[in-house]
Amino acid sequence: MENININTKTLDQLLKENNKDYPRTLNEFLERSVEKFKDRPALSKAFETPITYKEFFEKVLKVADLLIKIGINKGDRVAILGENSPNWGISYFAIIRTGAIAVPMLPDFPEADIRHVLLDSEAKLLFTTQKQIEKVGYLDRLKLKHIITLDNFETDGHSLKVEPISNIIDKAIDFLKRLPETIGLKSKEVSEHDIASIIYTSGTSGHSKAVMLTHKNLVSNALACSLVMEFNSEDTFLSILPLSHTYEFTVGFLLALVNGARIVYNDKPPTPKILEEICKKEKPNVICSVPLILEKIYKKKVLAVLEKNKLVKLMTKIPGLKKKIYKKIKNKLMEFFGGELKVMAIGGASFNRDAEKFFKESGFPYLIGYGLTETAPLISGGPWGDKTIKIGSTGKVTPGCEMKIEDPDKKNGIGEICVRGPNVMKGYYKNPELTKEVLDEHGWFSTGDLGRFDKFKNLHITGRSKNMILMSNGENIYPESIEGKINSSIYVVESLILENNGKLEAWVYLDYDLVDEETKNKTEQQRLVFIEEILQSIKDDVNIQLSSYSKISRVIEQKEPFIRTATHKIKRYLYTHSKK
């Protein structure tokens, strides 16, 4: 197997072959979409009337005019802290239209992280919401000159400290009503190599990095995504992940805009009940999701049914009946998502193999992708309809990208995944040393992830290089592989494999709703025995599937959910040095 996968054609060539434009900046990108789709519905919150592309652009220009009037210049950093909404997107495009740099923050960032980002980026202005503003605290050490509420684009003018939101609203001036009705505001001179976003990650390694993404990085990746699967202006995208994360921003926002699609925002936690209500009304064609959401649906709506109904479970052993049963379940799931779903795009973390096996065999429309913030983000996925993509794979290398497996081992061809292309970041903000560690002089970016290619050139992720456990016998253990087997249990929500004194331990957070349901008539002592039996069963079932050197020595109950990143990856560094 070759360890390199280099595209013979550039993204420019591929776009020309598909009769697609290649705007060089995000400002150009939006202008072309508005020109093509000006009267089409663009953005709205769920259950609300959408604004058109023309109205979206007019609002961008008005807010950009406001930013210029209050002194925002090219290169200034402007932060965004808020839940998903049309005003979030309006603010972003208004920022970059002035030549400034957007600094998006995840809405679930704690106060300490928010202050760190505002201090480190030296943001001059903050767009935020009433829900978030109390996290900002006092501004004595910050460079902030203005705060504008995303709720209605009101501002407190200028303040040296943040006052309670009620006071800000009392004094607010609605600039939008006073601005001239013009759409003639030209964007400041911005090149494709200028920074559009600085995104502060809080990854599983524990070290927050500020990723500098240029206009070219984001535009090229959105256009590359448009070659992976075709969408059109009749499609509706449902946005359930935070726009401040590059995955949702590129695949759920920019990809929709380039195709003239409508975007519907859910600004609440995507519980099954809320999702079902929204999907019934909005009938989405595209949803970007993390694996955890589909895995929960699989366990609650599929696995639970099969486990409780022994006859149905037995029938799935018969190929012909299995196909009919799976199709029926799939149709129910499609109905849950509104009945019009074209694709569920899955990324951000590894997908449980058993869950994927069901979705694959049932014919549910899903597509798995892989990427990082540093690559804007997609570097592999699809393409749609490719029959060679097998379970456990993240598909082919994204159009216009190059990928190689560095120093693959002779046994499995596993090595570090490296990528090069127009979507690779400019570097880490204020950290040239770290930039040099991951970006070489030839433009190759070292992802820190381990993987291999199969014979069809599909990428398979095997884990993080930093997560790999080297046992005393010299064997390499990839914990993600074992965790995937553990997580297949109907009783398990999440798990973590750790090494302790030369042995492997599994920390397991159980589905306590299910445990409570099955022990509701038992005493507390009987409940504890039931849990111990589950843990022992997990150990026995998983160890049967493992080689002698990778067997679990014990399974430990984790009584609180693991702390996770925005894409639901467990923050391993918080647990690596803990002892039980």
Which CATH number fits the domain that encloses residue 126? 3.40.50.980
For 202-231, letters b (16+ CB in 10 Å) and e give bbbbeeebbbbbbbbbbbbbbbbbbbbbeb
Q: Sorting pLDDT into bands at 50, 70 and 90, what band is 473?
A: low
Same domain, 167 and 293: no
Using an 8 Å Cβ cutoff, are 498 and 570 in contact?
no
∠ CA(180), CA(27), CA(131), 5° rounding? 70
Is residue 196 in a domain? yes
From first CA to last CA, the distance across the chain in angstroms is: 42
The tens digit of pLDDT for each residue in 315-324 reads: 888 988 999 9
- Show Cβ contacts of residue 483 under 8 Å, excluding neighbours closer than 6 positions: 495, 496, 497, 506
d(CA 400, CA 384): 17
Across the range 71-99, mean pLDDT stands at 96
Residue 177: pLDDT over 70: no
Tell me what pLDDT residue 202 has.
63
Dig out the tokens for 121 from the structure: 């980026």
Cα–Cα distance between 31 and 21 in angstroms, integer? Answer: 12
Burial of residue 473 (number of CB atoms within 10 Å: 0-12, 13-18, 19+) = exposed
Contact between 90 and 244 (Cβ < 8 Å): no
Claim to verify: residue 201 and residue 263 sit in the same structural domain: no
177 and 292 both lie in a single domain: no
Q: Which residues, 6 or more positions from 221, have their beta carbon under 8 angstroms from its beta carbon? A: 250, 254, 375, 376, 377, 378, 398, 422, 423
195 has which bridge partners?
214
Domain that includes residue 301, residue range = 251-417+454-464
CA distance 424 to 437: 14
Mean pLDDT of 73-86: 96
Same domain, 459 and 491: no
| Rg of the chain on CA atoms, in Å | 25
Q: Verify that 107 and 44 share a domain, yes or no.
A: yes
Counting the structural domains of the chain, the total is: 3
Which of the pair, 296 or 418, is modelled with greater confidence? Answer: 418
> How confident is the model at residue 412, as a pLDDT?
87
Tally the C-alpha atoms within 13 A of residue 201's C-alpha that lie toward its C-beta.
Answer: 25
Whether residue 428 is contained in a domain is answered as no
Contacts of 207 (CB under 8 A, 6+ apart): none
Q: Can you spell out the DSSP letters for 221-234?
A: HHHHHHHHS---TT
pLDDT in tens, 254-296: 999 999 999 999 977 778 789 999 999 999 999 999 888 888 8
Q: What is the pLDDT of residue 577?
A: 56
Q: Is the pLDDT of residue 145 over 50?
A: yes
Query: Does position 517 have pLDDT exceeding 50, yes or no?
Result: yes
CATH number, position 560: 3.30.300.30
- pLDDT tens column, 2-16: 577 777 789 999 999
Residue, of 142 and 533, whose pLDDT is higher:
533
As a whole number of angstroms, the distance between CA 40 and CA 258 comes to 12
Do 509 and 560 contact (CB within 8 A), yes or no?
yes
The more confident residue out of 153 and 76 is: 76
Percent of the chain with pLDDT over 70: 90
Confirm whether 244 is domain-assigned.
no
pLDDT at 553: 94
Q: If we measure between CA atoms, which residue out of 430, 440, 25 comes closest to residue 218?
A: 25
How many whole angstroms separate alpha carbon 199 and alpha carbon 208?
10
- Residue 9 within a domain: yes
User: Which of 464, 497, 528 finishes a domain?
Assistant: 464
- Residue 84 shares a structural domain with residue 125: yes
Q: Is 422 inside a domain boundary?
A: no
One domain, residues 412 and 477: no
Q: What is the pLDDT of residues 427-472, one digit of tens each?
A: 999 999 999 999 999 999 999 999 999 999 999 998 887 787 877 6
Q: Do 409 and 270 fall within a single domain?
A: yes
User: Is residue 119 located within the same domain as residue 30?
Assistant: yes
Res 580: pLDDT: 44
Q: How far is CA 189 from CA 68, 256, 418, in A?
A: 14, 25, 33
> Tokens representing 111?
């106060």
Q: Establish if 569 belongs to a structural domain.
A: yes
Residues 187 and 332 placed together within one structural domain of the fold: no
Same domain, 116 and 155: yes
What lies within 8 Å, CB to CB, of 198 at 6+ separation is 77, 101, 102, 103, 121, 210, 211, 212, 213, 429
Between 21-30, 97-106, 126-135, 300-309, the lowest mean confidence (pLDDT) is in: 300-309
Name the residue with tokens 């990856």: 569
For residue 417, give the nearest of 427, 407, 425 by alpha carbon: 407
Number of other CB atoms surrounding residue 493 within 10 Å: 20
The reported pLDDT for the residue numbered 547 is 81
Q: In what order do the strands lie in the sheet with 154-155?
A: 154-155, 146-149, 125-128, 77-81, 101-105, 195-200, 210-214, 427-428
- How confident is residue 474, by pLDDT bands cut at 50, 70 and 90? low
187 pLDDT band, cuts 50/70/90, is: low
The answer as to whether 229 is a domain residue is no
Measure Cα distances from 226 to 296, 378, 515, 521 in Å. 29, 11, 44, 54
Pairing state of beta strands 402-406 and 415-420?
antiparallel
**Pair (84, 171) in one structural domain:** yes
What pLDDT does residue 249 have? 98
Residue 276's φ and ψ, nearest 5 degrees, are: -65, -40
Q: Over 70: is that where the pLDDT of 530 sits? A: yes
At 307, give phi and psi (nearest 5°). -70, -35
Q: How far apart are CA 257 and CA 222, in angstroms?
A: 9
User: Does the structure show a pLDDT above 60 at 563?
Assistant: yes
Q: Residue 166's CB: how many other CB atoms inside 10 A?
A: 8
Q: Say what the pTM is.
A: 0.84
Closest CA to 256 of 222, 213, 227, 218: 222
Residue 411 CA, chain-centre distance (Å), reads 32
User: CA-CA distance, 496 to 572, in Å (whole number)?
Assistant: 8
Domain end position, chosen among 446, 464, 482: 464
Share of the chain above pLDDT 90, in %: 67
- Residues 103, 121 contacting (CB under 8 angstroms): yes
Which tens digit of pLDDT belongs to each residue from 197-232?
999 986 544 556 899 999 999 999 999 999 999 999
- Confidence band of 167 (pLDDT split at 50, 70, 90): very low
Q: Is the pLDDT of residue 154 over 90?
A: no
CB-based contact 128:136 (threshold 8 Å): yes
What integer best gives the mean pLDDT of the chain?
A: 88
Does some domain include residue 230? no
Q: What is the pLDDT of residue 133?
A: 87
**Whether the Cβ atoms of residue 257 and residue 427 lie closer than 8 Å to each other:** no
pLDDT per residue as tens digits for the range 390-406: 999 999 999 999 999 99
Where a domain ends, among 464, 482, 499? 464
